[in-house]
Amino acid sequence: MYLKESEVLKNIEASNKNSFKVKALVYSNFRLLQKLRALGHSWVRIAEGIQPCVDWDVKPDSIRAAFQSAVEYFSNPENHVLPEITNEPVKDVQPVKDAPRQDRPVVPAPVEDHVSVTSIQEKPTQPVQKPASPNKVKLIERAQYVREAGKPETGVRIDEPDDVEASIIQARRALKPATNTNQNSSDSSGEQGANTASESKRPKISTSLM
């Protein structure tokens, strides 16, 4: 079987994207996941618990892998943006009776009340440390260049806005006496474009910003 390169690349990209989402979710809700594991819930059950809270497919294996990565990450003292992870078990946590003992983590941590991707503002500000993107430097340099060199000419500035209400009232006043006057007028010819109003070729119109 021959694989189509573009198809494989597309799938890799999708996979990378999903991996980022899972990591962000797990790192942001690390303490809650620790608690759930301490309670003896399996990764399958945890994934099922998370699933309705987010709008994408949550796979137990992905959550588990991201959790292991988070454990390694937070085990580094420099990365302790969360409250301290202690080796003391949480006293008010009651493990599930039938849960396999070996699945329970050794470092249960304080408790989160709920799981939600929207609660990340309460979470560590920089859970994932990664090398700075080379593009970051490019972007900053580009923006600073525009700041220093000046922006390119962006055309005529917008006219002062008209007062819509006043303009309408004025139009109405002008119209009232005009309804009974001579309607024939074919004086100076307009200079507007001659495009036809069609969906394929939209007429060029003069808009006055309000």
Q: Which of residues 70-99 bind other proteins (CB under 8 A)?
A: none
Question: Of the listed pieces 77-85, 93-101, 102-110, 141-149, which binds other proteins according to CB under 8 A?
Answer: 141-149
Binding residues with other proteins: total (CB under 8 A): 78
Binding of residue 18 to other proteins (CB under 8 A): no
In order of 57, 98, 112, 126, the CA distances from 94 in angstroms are: 29, 12, 15, 31
Binding of residue 3 to other proteins (CB under 8 A): no
Distance, CA of 18 to CA of 20 (rounded, Å): 5
Binding mask 24-63 for other proteins (x = CB under 8 A): x---x--------------------------x--------
Binding of residue 136 to other proteins (CB under 8 A): yes
Binding of residue 7 to other proteins (CB under 8 A): no
Can you give the C-alpha Rg of the chain in angstroms?
32
CB of 89 to other proteins, least distance (A): 30
Answer for the pair 56, 21: CB distance below 8 angstroms, yes or no: yes
Q: Residue with structure tokens 């309670």? A: 39
CB of 42 to other proteins, least distance (A): 26
- Count of CA atoms in the C-beta half-sphere (13 A) of 70: 28
Distance, CA of 51 to CA of 54 (rounded, Å): 6
